[in-house]
Structure 1
C-alpha cells in the first residue's frame, strides 16, 4: 500500500530479507536470525531509528569495509555466580548482547540477580530488546552501552561521550510492559538519520557547533558529527538552566559501566579510527542486569502494583489541549497494534538501500511492492 513515497512490507518478509542479507556477507545463519529478530522487533515497536534503516549503513556496510567481524567470537573472560566479563572480539553486537543478557537472566534465576559486562563489541541494535528478554522471565531488566563520541559535556563543545542509553524494562499486568529506552542526549544519531531520510531540519537545541550555537541543518550535521565539528546536547539541553548537567552525568555513568568494569575502550577510543585516521572497529562496551522479582515478592503482586502506578499516572489531570498521558512502552504498543497487519513503512531512502542489497547479493527471491 502506497502513501506518498512510503510502502509497507510485512514483518516476516522484511525479517527474512535481513537474515539473507546478513548471511550473504558472511554472518552465520543462526547469528543472522538473531540480528534480524532484533532489527525487526525495533520496527514492530515503531522505533524506526534502529530497525531496517540501520541494516545497510551500520551493519552491512561495516562488515564489507572490514571494521566489524561477521563471525562472532563470544569469549567469557571472567565468570562468577552472579557476574561475568565478556569479550566480543568486534563481532555482531546483537549476538553478543543477546547471549550476554541471557547469561544475566540465567544467573538471576538461581541467585536473584545477574550482571554481565562486555568489551570489544559493536552496535547492538535497539537497547530495549534486552530488558524485554528479562521481562519474559518475570524479571526487571537493565542495559546500557557506550558509543562513538557525539555528546558534548555541559559547558563544552567537543563531542566526548556517546549517546549512552540507560534502558530499563519492568513487567506489569497490562498488555504492554514499562520499557524506558532513552539516550542520554536530547536526541540521538538514529533519530537525526530519520529526519535526514525525510528531508527535515532538526529542532533547535538538539545539536551545537564549535561555538556553542544551535544547528538544524540535518544532512551536514550527520557529516560534522563524525568530523567533530558538531555535537549532540545532553538530556536537558544546552547549559545548566534546563538540567543539561543531568544528562551529562547519566551519560558519564553509562560510560563508566560500559568501560571500567570490563577494562574496555572509552570516550575518544570509540571513534572508529586509529592514530593514522584509518577506520577500525569501534570496540564498544555494554552492561546487562537482570533482577528476579520472585526473590523480593510474588511476581503477580509486583505486576499488579506496577500496573496500578501506570494507570494512575495516565488517569491524572491532563494539560489543557491534551487528550492523553502516556507511560513508557505505551506508544510502542500502539505502534505494534497499527503495524502488525500492515507491516513496516519504508520510504525512498530505505527502498534504495533494500534494492542495492538485493542487487549486490542476487536476492531475486524477494519481490517488493515498490518494484511493481
Structure 2
C-alpha cells in the first residue's frame, strides 16, 4: 500500500477558509469567525479529531440537511445573579458555548462564581476551549456536554450515554494552563474517525457489539454506532474488573448536568433521528462554570502552587523505558510549538473534503498545496 501523502497548510489560511465555508452556508460573519477559531484551536493543540476534519461532516453537512441553524438565537430564558439558563435554538454550538462561558465569567467577576446551562444546542467543538477562556481570566473553568448516545453502561451493551467530556481549565505560572479535556469513554467518535481516515483498525476494548464482544473494524463501527448495534466502552473499560463503572458514573454526571438543570433532552432524545429514522435536531445540552480565584486567594499564589504541583509530578521517578512524565495541557502546548510554523496536517480524506467544499461554495481564490 502506497504511503498516504499529508500536506501542511498554514493556520491562518485554513482558519480563513473555514470562516468562508461557514459564511457560505449562512453563518453570520462574526459567528463564522468564532466557529473557525474554535476549530483551528483544536488543530493547533494537536487534537485532530475536533479540528478541520469535522468542518464538513459535522457542521457543513448538518446545516445543509437542515438539522442545525446557521443563525444562532442565544436566548436567556432564566437568569439570577450567578446563574442563567440559555436556549440555543439549535444554532451554532461554538457560538452558544463561547457566549455562555463569557456570561459565566462575567458573573464570576462580580460574585465569585458563575454557572450557565444550555439546552437545544449543537456540537460545540473542543470543550477545552471554554476552560482556557476561564483560565485566561485567572479563573477555574469547568464545562461538560452531553452527546448522541454511544457509551454502553457497565454490564450493558446498548449505547445510551454520549462521550460526555468533563473538562477543567486552570491557570498556572507556566507557559500553558492546566487543561484536562477528555471524554468519559475510553475514546471518542472523533478519534475513531481519524483511524478510519487513516485506514487503521482501532485497539481492542474501545468498542463492543451487542454480545459484549470487543470490535476493531473501524469503518463498520462508525456505521453501527449510529445504528445502535455497537457501543463505546466507558473509561476503565468493559465490566468492573478494570473499573469501567467509574467512567460510566462520570458520564452520567455530565448527562444530568447537561439536561436536568435546563429542562433539556437526554439519552435517546439525542440520537439526531426522529421515530421514522429521518435526521432531526440533536438537542444537546452544556454547562459552564467559572470560579474567580481572586475570591479565595491572590491569583499569582494559586498559579505558583498549581505550577509547583505540575512540576513535581513531572519530576517524579519515571517507569523504565520512559523519558518523561506529562501533565494535562502539556502535550497540547508541545503540539503547538511543533506545528506553529508548519500549520494543519491535511491527509488525503481531508484533501477531498476541502476540494469538495471549495468547489461547492465557489471559493476559487484559495490555492492549496495538494491541488
Q: Report the Cα distance in structure 2 between the residues aligned to 1:370 and 1:279, rounded to whole angstroms.
A: 33
Task: Measure, in 1, the Cα distance between the counterparts of 2:180 and 2:214.
Answer: 27
1:278 CA drift (Å): 1.4
State the Cα RMSD in Å.
Answer: 0.6
Aligned residue for 1:91, secondary structure, equals coil
Match of 1:231 in 2: 231
2:240 paired residue number: 240
2:238, 2:34 → 1: CA distance? 38
User: Residue 276 of structure 1: CA displacement?
Assistant: 1.8
Q: Which digits, 9 at most, give the CA deviation of each residue in 1:230-283, with x for residues without a partner?
A: 000000000001010000000000000000000000000000111222110100
Whole-angstrom CA distance in 2 between matches of 1:272 and 1:284: 10
Q: Which runs of 4+ in 1 moved over 6 A?
A: none
1:147 corresponds in structure 2 to: 147
Query: Paired residue for 2:337?
Result: 337
Report the secondary structure of 1:204's partner residue: coil
Which residue does the alignment assign to 1:16? 16
Partner of 2:28: 28
**Within 5 Å, which residues of 2 pair with 1:96-175?**
96-175=96-175
- SS of the equivalent of 2:236 reads coil
Q: Normalising by structure 1, what TM-score?
A: 0.99
Q: What is the TM-score when the length of structure 2 is the normalising length?
A: 0.99
> In the aligned structure 2, how far is the partner of 1:281 from the partner of 1:59?
12
2:4/2:348 contact within 8 Å kept:
no
Alignment of 1:284-295 (within 5 A): 284-295=284-295
Residue correspondences, number: 369
Q: Which string of whole-angstrom CA distances, capped at 9 and with x for unpartnered residues, describes residues 184-216 of structure 1? A: 000000000000011010001000000000000
Within a 5 Å distance, the mapping from 1:129-278 to structure 2 comes to: 129-278=129-278
Match of 1:75 in 2: 75
Shift of 1:33: 0.3
CA distance in 2, matches of 1:321, 1:210: 38
**Unaligned stretches of 5+ in structure 1?**
none
* Cα deviation, residue 88, structure 1: 0.1
1:363 CA drift (Å): 0.2
Q: Describe how 1:58-97 pairs up with structure 2 within 5 A.
A: 58-97=58-97
Please, which runs of 5 or more residues in structure 2 have no aligned partner?
none
Deviation for aligned residue 1:36: 0.1
